[in-house]
Amino acid sequence: MAGAGLLGLLRLQARAARRRVEARTSRQDPPSGDGVYGRGRGRVRPLVFTVLGDSSAVGLGVERAGETPGVLLAAALAELAERPVRLVRVAVSGAESCELDPQVDRALAERPDLALVMIGANDVTTRTRPAVSVAHLADAVRRLREAGAQVVVGTCPDLGTIRPIGQPLRLLARRWSRQLAAAQTIAVVEAGGRTVSLGSVLGPSFAQDRSLFSVDEFHPSAAGYASAAAVLLPALADSVGVWPARDERRLRGRGRVRPVARAAARAAGRPGTEVRATEVRGSVTGPLGTWARLLRRRPSDLPTPEEVTQAAEIPVG
């Protein structure tokens, strides 16, 4: 009877939280901001940057394209690379991992050099089994890598910070989020991509500073998206070889190498941890599976929305 009562309570809390969030959530996505950022030198081919995923990749919760993570990152990458960056956002609000396949089709049509995937929250809220969720994510990463794109995945955010969710559901949401984030890391690294832990980045910061949430108290605000983008930028820039060498030299000695499962568990609870495949004595695998390196970089400064607008070759709204 106690178990049945708890299950009933959790269902009531979930429905109440969903109604509260949906009542305040904007029904309209912000402008995509698709276009070319940075002028570059001469007639340089733009770096093609595609953004896939759910509402966190879309930037739901803000009104201006210059406040969305894709635009912020495209402008910052253009500055670091000293070449134009063409942004193509194919993310869809409300998407689950099982819906990544058509997004990958659209992304591949653009021949991307770099892809960012931000997904997982909707898999948690629909209680999709992690094994099912990460199988779709791994397939998406594998397809993008086979096409020659570098892939960075921002793992599932910590839903335990969502204020409309009451206890004890909030504790379970945190646990489910971290379990999915760890499973995502294992799948992505083994598929040839790299991950950055967003759950622990957004968790403590968002729990303490409510200004990082938009009015629906579920999606980030402009400041929240900037916070997430700042910790994603180093991994994105490093994957295409434009992260400053001086910063990379400082980090190489600190990166710890572990079997990917242990690295994933560690990353799920540490702010902004990047996980990528590596070699140990010339081998990418050991007795406990794929070797992975954990890196923790300092969040980077990003252009302001006004600077983004100035850097764009198209209006970004």
The reply to whether 219 belongs to the active site is yes
> Quick one: which H or E segment has residue 194?
strand 194-196
Catalytic hit among 34, 54, 216, 238 = 216
Catalytic hit among 34, 219, 227, 300 = 219
Catalytic hit among 55, 56, 200, 239 = 55
> Quick one: which H or E segment has residue 35?
strand 35-37
The reply to whether 55 belongs to the active site is yes
- Both tokens of 157, joined, read 């955010």
The reply to whether 32 belongs to the active site is no
- Both tokens of 88, joined, read 């193509």
Q: Name residue 254's amino acid.
A: R
Say if CB 103 and CB 92 are below 8 A apart: yes
> Quick one: which H or E segment has residue 20?
helix 2-24
CA distance 225 to 197: 14
Q: 94: alpha, beta or left, given left = phi > 0 and alpha = psi -120 to 50?
A: left
Say if CB 13 and CB 166 are below 8 A apart: yes
Active site residues: 55, 216, 219
